[in-house]
Amino acid sequence: MRQDHIISAKQLSRADIETVLDRASDIASDPGAYADRHPNALLGLLFFEPSTRTKMSFSAAIKRLGGDIVDMGPVEYSSVKKGESLADTVRVVEGYADALVLRHPSEGSAKMATEHVDVPLINGGDGAGQHPTQTLLDLYTIRENAGLDDLTIGIMGDLKYGRTVHSLAYALTNFDTRQHFVSPDSLKLPRNVRYDLHEAGSSIKEHTELDDILPSLDVLYVTRIQRERFPDESEYREVAGQYQIDAGTLEAAKDDLTVMHPLPRVDEIAYDVDETSHANYFQQAHNAVPVRMALLDMLLGGDQ
């Protein structure tokens, strides 16, 4: 794979994805072999929104490759607070780092940022838009548990604003998958995502009830229904309650169903699911390090 920037899952071909996942498998099986791969590399972290997993796993990934980070820190202590534009911020920080990770609340921010920098830039989540590196670790986890072809996957929760959903749905069009989307009507897939899935010739179906499709699923990908999207608290409670699963819910599922969640969860997956063989969301989070190591290794010239 030769990509200067990672902005959207739409830019990833099946071959690109498999190359990253294969590299991640190599790293996971022998992390020591990659320990001094990029001893002088600096990764610039530009997080304009809170993040635990994405930020820490990128930090861990570059450090495990022998490099280090330069971190903008919280927005309230940065030049952004003085009114600096995103375009200027990325132009400044590219002078300090060999690659950048950007998380920003506005859709399209990562694409715009790439127009101002020459170092590789990775979209770490842009508003309700895309989160392509989350998708790579999601695919890695799916491949470990169920393979990536002849797969029936259910994606449930906030499909309208959930950027991890949008990226995953695009990436899955590269594989032989049947995608089922489960959400309240108010949080269905946005028009642009449906348009792209249709253009890709993907097999998708939309539902409001999980029960309709649970027994057929190989993977169930659950996302958080975000309270802040609802103007009325009671409206949120009514909808959110319909999209919670517990160990009892999963009795209707296949024995080898893989349950995933990009985390953080609130109450959409009960803690009793953690004790079942279906739970893979913590392993999914841990997979972020080898997958992001693989991606960084390739972007920083690990093939040369």
Partner 1 sequence: MTDDRQLRVSKIENGTVIDHIAGGQALNVLAILGIDGTAGEVVSIGMNVPSDRLGRKDVVKVENRELSQSELDVLSLIAPAATVNIIRDYDVVDKHLVERPDHVTGILQCPNHNCITTEEEPVDSRFEVLDDGVRCEYCDTIIRENLAAHILV
Active site residue 54: yes
Q: Which of 25, 31, 49, 127 lies at the binding interface for partner 1 (CB under 8 A)?
A: 127
Return the residues of window 46-85 that contact partner 1 according to CB under 8 A. 85
81-100 mask for partner 1 (x: CB under 8 A)? Answer: ----xxx-------------
DSSP 226-246: -GGG-SSHHHHHHHHHTT-B-
Active site residue 131: yes
Buried b (16+ CB within 10 A) or exposed e, 86-100: beebbeebbeebbbb
How many residues bind partner 1 (CB under 8 A)? The answer is 21
> Residues 5, 23, 54, 55: which is the catalytic one?
54
Nearer to partner 1 among residue 166 and residue 261 (C-beta)? 166
Those residues whose C-beta lies under 8 Å from the C-beta of residue 290, and which sit 6 or more positions away, are 24, 25, 27, 28, 31, 61, 140
Nearer to partner 1 among residue 2 and residue 191 (C-beta)? 191
Q: Which of 65, 117, 119, 128 lies at the binding interface for partner 1 (CB under 8 A)?
A: 128
Q: How far apart are CA 186 and CA 53, in angstroms?
A: 28
Active site residue 82: yes
Q: Which of 13, 33, 149, 195 lies at the binding interface for partner 1 (CB under 8 A)?
A: 195
- Give the CA angle between residues 149, 154, 156 to the nearest 5°: 150
Q: Which of 106, 226, 244, 276 lies at the binding interface for partner 1 (CB under 8 A)?
A: 106
159-188 mask for partner 1 (x: CB under 8 A)? Answer: ------------------------------
Per the CB < 8 A criterion, the answer to whether 248 and 236 are in contact is no
Per the CB < 8 A criterion, the answer to whether 64 and 297 are in contact is no
> Residues 104, 131, 180, 292: which is the catalytic one?
131
Those residues whose C-beta lies under 8 Å from the C-beta of residue 147, and which sit 6 or more positions away, are none
Per the CB < 8 A criterion, the answer to whether 246 and 178 are in contact is no
Per the CB < 8 A criterion, the answer to whether 133 and 168 are in contact is no
Catalytic residues, which ones? 53-54, 82, 103, 131
Residues of the shown chain interacting with partner 1 in the complex, contacts defined by CB under 8 A: 85-87, 104-109, 111-112, 115, 126-129, 191-193, 195-196
